[in-house]
Amino acid sequence: MWAMGDYDRFARATTWDVGPVLVDACGVTAAHRVLDVAAGTGNVAIRAAMKGASVVACDLTPEHFAAGRRGATAAGVSVEWIEGDAEALPFDDGTFDVVVSCFGAMFAPNHRAAADELLRVCRPGGTLGLMNFTPEGTGGEFFALLGSYAPPPPAGAKSPLLWGSEEHVRVQFGNRLSRIALSRHIYVERAPSPAKYCDLFMETFGPVVAIRGNLDAARRDEFDRRFLDAVVRWNGGRSAGPVEIPYEYLLVVGTKSPE
């Protein structure tokens, strides 16, 4: 699903500008070895490498890596790209100084397994940084709409939007973090018009491409209408002209407890 469409084009038009925010929040420097989990095409990984860090970008969808490598080359940096599942990362314990994920690891179905792996590969005293959509924000509404047209999730899978809840994050990590800072922030997605914004998702965002492709014509038309109506609402009721849609996310920055 995530390999469909054109994820690099999608990310650069939507979430690309938040990559440096996560890098700065985690205090990444040239002294650090950094892992970006569910890295996509390098939104965070490339920015961490621009700080001089040694960076590994890990993703379950290796189809993203060609675009990621082009982006790293264009930025004049080196990033290592490795296929891997957030629930079973292919790295030894304590390998990284900083472990990050920007709107990525939140989509792993087994939340505890993902939390365990993020911490396992981080060294004691190292930094964990996450960005997760909140259930109350626009991202929550969007994924709720998309989910109403998607096949049922695997048995036992939890909603990715739970990762936008402060309490849920604290439960997943427990006392394995000696310090944790949780704060809510907003970034803005822009497009020339509501229709163009919808087109971007339908052409480039893999989950939308996949789900629409499995609908019959009537259901697809219904989804398209509901999505456009939602975009207009998120855009302050403006059905024409530029789109500026705020998305709320939870920023998580923690320090792994000494072992």
Q: Where are the domains positioned within the chain? A: 7-144+153-189+247-256
Residue range 39-64: mean pLDDT, rounded: 98
Task: Count other Cβ atoms within 10 Å, centred on residue 258.
Answer: 8
Distance CA 115, CA 87 (A): 8
Q: Nearest-CA neighbor of 133 among 171, 105, 98?
A: 105
Beta-sheet strands, E only, within the chain = 33-37, 54-59, 80-83, 96-102, 122-133, 177-191, 243-256
User: What integer is the mean pLDDT of 38-44?
Assistant: 98
| 242 pLDDT higher than 80 | yes
Amino acid type, 2: W
Burial grade of 249 (CB within 10 A; 0-12, 13-18, 19 or more):
buried
**Percent of the chain clearing pLDDT 90 (strictly above):** 96
CATH architecture of 7-144+153-189+247-256: 3-Layer(aba) Sandwich (3.40)
* Tokens representing residue 107 in the block: 């989509």
Written as six digits, the tokens of 211 are: 């789900």
State the chain's maximal CA–CA distance in angstroms.
56
Residue 259 has pLDDT above 80, yes or no: no
With 90 as the cut, is the pLDDT of residue 211 above it? yes
Q: Cα-flanking dihedrals φ and ψ of residue 121, to 5°?
A: -85, -5
Distance, in Å, from the CA atom of 218 to the CA atom of 220, rounded to the nearest integer, reads: 5
**Pairing verdict, β 177-191 and 243-256:** antiparallel
- The C-alpha atoms of residue 35 and residue 48 are separated, in whole angstroms, by 9
Tell me the pLDDT band of 177, cut-offs 50, 70 and 90.
very high
Instruction: Grade residue 155 by pLDDT with cuts at 50, 70 and 90.
Output: confident
Encoded amino acid at 221, one letter? D
* pLDDT tens digits for range 72-113: 999 999 999 999 999 999 999 999 999 999 999 999 999 999
How far is 143 from 141, CA to CA, in rounded Å?
6
Structural tokens at position 100 = 């990050």
Region 200-210: mean pLDDT is 97
Q: What is the pLDDT of residues 23-36, one digit of tens each?
A: 999 999 999 999 99
Contact 236, 138 (CB under 8 A): no
Give burial (CB, 10 Å; 0-12/13-18/19+) of 63: middle
Amino acid at 254: G
- State yes or no: pLDDT of 1 exceeds 90: no
Averaged pLDDT of the chain: 97
Structure confidence at residue 246 (pLDDT)? 97
Specify whether the CB–CB gap between 91 and 123 falls below 8 A.
no
Residue 156 pLDDT level (bands cut at 50, 70, 90): confident
